Structures are given as C-alpha cells and as structure tokens.
Structure 1
C-alpha cells in the first residue's frame, strides 16, 4: 500500500523498506516499486512533471479516467447520432455535407460564440485564454509518447536493450549517468528522461521547451546539450529521487531514512561533490559517471 508524504521536505531514497516516488509524492512499499513505476498513474504524473504541472492524486487520476471514458462514450454516441441525422450543428442550425466540414465549422469563432451564449459560459478573453492554454497542455499530454527505453534521446539509434542504449548515449553523445552505484533503477531514470524529451519536448540540459521532438533533439546536438545539468544542486533537485543516497553514518538501502532539508541536505550534497562512494573511494559526479570505453561501463539493472 502507498501513503501520502506529509510536508514539503525532500526525501532521499528509501524509508525503511519503502521508497519515495517524488513524481507522485507518495511512499511506495519496496515490493510494489516495479508495479508503481509501470502504472498509468505514475506515467501521467511524469508527463505532468515534464510539462511543468503538479502531480495528481490516485483518487483524482481515477476520476479523470472515468471522465475520459464517459467523454469517449458521449463522443461515440454523438458521432452515431450525426451519422443518422446527417452533419447538423444544433447551435447554429446549419447542415453540412461531411463530418470534416462540420468539425471545421465547430472551430469557427461564430460557432464558439453561439456555444458560449447557449451555455452561459464566461466571455472574458483572459479567462478563455487560460482555459485554452490548459486544454492544449492536457491534450498534448494525452497524445504525446515517451521515447522508448531502448531508443536514444538524441538521435534515431535503437539499441537492443537498456544497458546498450546507456552505453550508446555515453559514448556517442557524452550523456553520462552519474552515481551508478546508488541508482535505484536505470529504467525509472530513462523513463523520466524519455518523458522529458518525448512528451515535454524539453532539453535534458537546459530544460528549454520546443514545439516538437526533432526540434529539441537538434537543439541538444547543436548546443552540446546532450548531457545532464552541470550544477550539482540543480542536478540533485531534478534527479535525486532516482537514487538511494548513503548518509555520513553509512546508512543505505533497507535502513531508516528521514526527510532531509536545509543544512543536512547540503552536507550530503557536499559529500557527493567531493566524490566519495560507498567504499570511500572516488565516485563520479554528474560530469563523469560512465566512461566512453564500453568495457568500463557497468550498469546493475534491478530485477
């Protein structure tokens, strides 16, 4: 079972036998991790995150699913009714020769004004602009697709598996995955990046948003932005949830973690900036994590 996380603190990795999903803002039992990360609810919240929207609760997600199902039924019924009666606009009392002509009419200003008047909708331009902007974002989230885990984020290359894809992006594009020894799940991290580029059309490095996938991919190649952000703090804010950090007392996976903010969080960041791994050896940071030599790349995938 999952439970909501109280407060606004930043959770680091695991809480006892549970892990934190900051995308959905819940604590998930370890045995339910894979199921949660593959759920439609989690995928929707990832899409909302890369689009700059806040997460929705599981209850709100279920409500939206039911609303979409009901809307789909209504549209099917409306289409069936149109086919029986012909293509007729009840608001404007006009008949059309085809469904395409009717749909084009329904996008016209005159038709929209007629619908507003009939439904008593608000007519302020600012309010409608805000609603239309939100609708565009929601429609984009519904239609967009993440870049698959075996597809390169920056070019059209398709690898045989996730590990091969990570090697390809490191060797050809310089996109290194840091702190591999602390990574909870490479699939979860690449899923997020796939949503960021494929759904949000956002640059991995600078987070600038574009109008299409090929546009953001061209930007990342041209600007040498095919890598994670260099700033340690900004990198941690965006990617920290995908890692199980070890604190200065040596606590790691399976041990009790607390939400860490303020000075304690800065101490942990400083430790990782200094490059100390679990064995006390030098650990790679955001700028150097997986070497370009394929033989030196070792990714431990969760089973």
Structure 2
C-alpha cells in the first residue's frame, strides 16, 4: 500500500494531508528545496537536525533559554516561542478537534517503501547569513518564496495599502486619497472604476505585487502594503511607458471625454485605421460607431445585451467631485504629451480589439461540422 500524501523533494510519505501541509512549512523542507536547485540530493531529518544543532551551538549565548522541545505541540506539529502561546493553543478549538480526530484514527500507517513522518520536523530559527549555508546563494531564496500560498483578493471596500475597510467603494477611494494620496489617473476618461479597483485588489491581494514596481512580488499582503507605504509607491504606474498603460487600457475610453463631449480631443487622421483593419469588412466612423459589410449581416444582427453603466457613471461623478474638493486635478489634459498618450492608448485599444477578433475567427475554424447520418 502506497501513501497518497508524499513529498518528492524530501522522499518521505505522510499519514494525512494535515501533516503533509505542516511539513511544507518546516525548515527541513525549505533546505532540501535549496539543495535541489543546486543539483544536490536531499538530506534526512536526522542530518538536518545535526546541522541545526551545530548552528545553535555556535550562536549559543551565556543566558540560559528554555528548551524548544517543551514548546512543541506534538499532535499538531506547531512550534511556539512562549509558554503562553502554547497554553492558548492547547485550549483552542482547532487543537481539540485535531486531537479528537487523531484518537479516532489509532491504526498506524505502514507503507511498503517510503519512510513515514508521523510528526513534522521541529521548526527552528536559523540565521540567514551566507556563511550558514555552504552551497547556496542569495538567488535560491526565490524557491522558498514561490511555494508560499497565494492570498485572497481584497474587496472593493478594503484599502489597498492598509487594513482599513470602508462601507462603500466611493468611501474607500476617498480614504485612499486622504490617507495615502492615491488618485486614479485620467479619471475623466475612466469608464469602469469598479472593474479597475477589482483588478488592483487581485494584483495586491492575490499576487502581492506592488502597483508601482509592477513586477516585484512579496511574500504576503502585509509585506507588499508596507513596501508601498514606506517607499511612497501608493500610485499606479501609468504614464511611464506604453507597456505599463496597456495593462489598464480596457478600463478607459479616450474617444470622447465626459467633461467635453462636443470636442474631439484626438485628431482622427492621426490614427490610420487602414493599418489596423485590413480586411475591408469594417469601417470605423469618427463618432466611434462601426459599419460592417452586408455579407456579415447575420453576425452584426446578433444582440448580446449591453451593460448598465449608470451606477459606474454616478460613482465616477461622486469620485471626481471629491477629487476636485481635495484639490486634485490630475496631471493635465492638454498639451502635446497628453495628446500623444491618447493616440497611443487608442491605437492599443484598436489593436487589441482586432487581435481578439482575429483569434475568435481562427478558433471558429477548429469547429468540425458533421452531417447527421440517417436512413442507414
């Protein structure tokens, strides 16, 4: 009989899923991960404990410290730094349920080939100095970071930079503007603020990525929030280069801004539509509407319904009023630089629409049509 819960890195098997998950958090497993990156074989738990003992012996001070074995919950496999923490854990409901479950399953687990780890290895504090790890370097720390569990997405009422939770989305935007000087860029052209905030919530809450660094990931939500507040990165990287703006292009509409609906801010001649759509089946008018060829009438007659953006428009009106009350007017909506940015973003929107249309047409060719076989 083989176990369903194993660790390929450490070459061990486990009696249950809880013990396996606890093993993934131990220093023994992390050390074997680093050895695997360096093309070295894993070491046993006993050898790892010997290395730990040597390190602790070198770092031992004159002050006597209580033994860590007395602060270990043998049933749950958790290590505690104080006696009060251990006592509180023993009184917790989770520990009582786990102990009750362990008593019900008294039959020992005996696989044929793999070694059984009935208890996780003790979690110990090891110095992060390079001298303590002989055959590893600083770059191997990313292996340990990559196995960290992904977090949960924040709600639209939760602040991106602290633990404050508002009663509504517009109140949350005002809180982030007052406390963290976070303002949405080009708010006059923003067409779906709720979807944009949800995207930022997933970026920070799930992937723990800084909004300004944009590619730097942290271990948990608290770490990325501290980084953004300490470094002053409570802002979106939007105007640095077109690649950064491409991430948010779906949430903006630069065709006709809300504050001046009768004046076209972008010269239509600046964007060569023929260079975007070369099929000849669609023509884009200056008003933003598209006229299709009659051969595609059956497709243009399809009606998928329209989204009701009234709530989003009302929300944006309230947010813009609050921004103006705080004295925020953006980085300016005039000038050659801004007009160039609008042309670039508009080109990216049209290129993206054309790319998705081409992808959809190509996927339609993958559908096989068969004639129904009858009268045989």
Q: Shorter-chain TM-score: what band?
A: 0.3 to 0.5
Greater C-alpha Rg:
2
TM value normalised by structure 2: 0.34
The structure showing larger relative contact order (alpha-carbon pairs under 8 Å, at least 6 residues apart) is: 1
TM value normalised by structure 1: 0.41
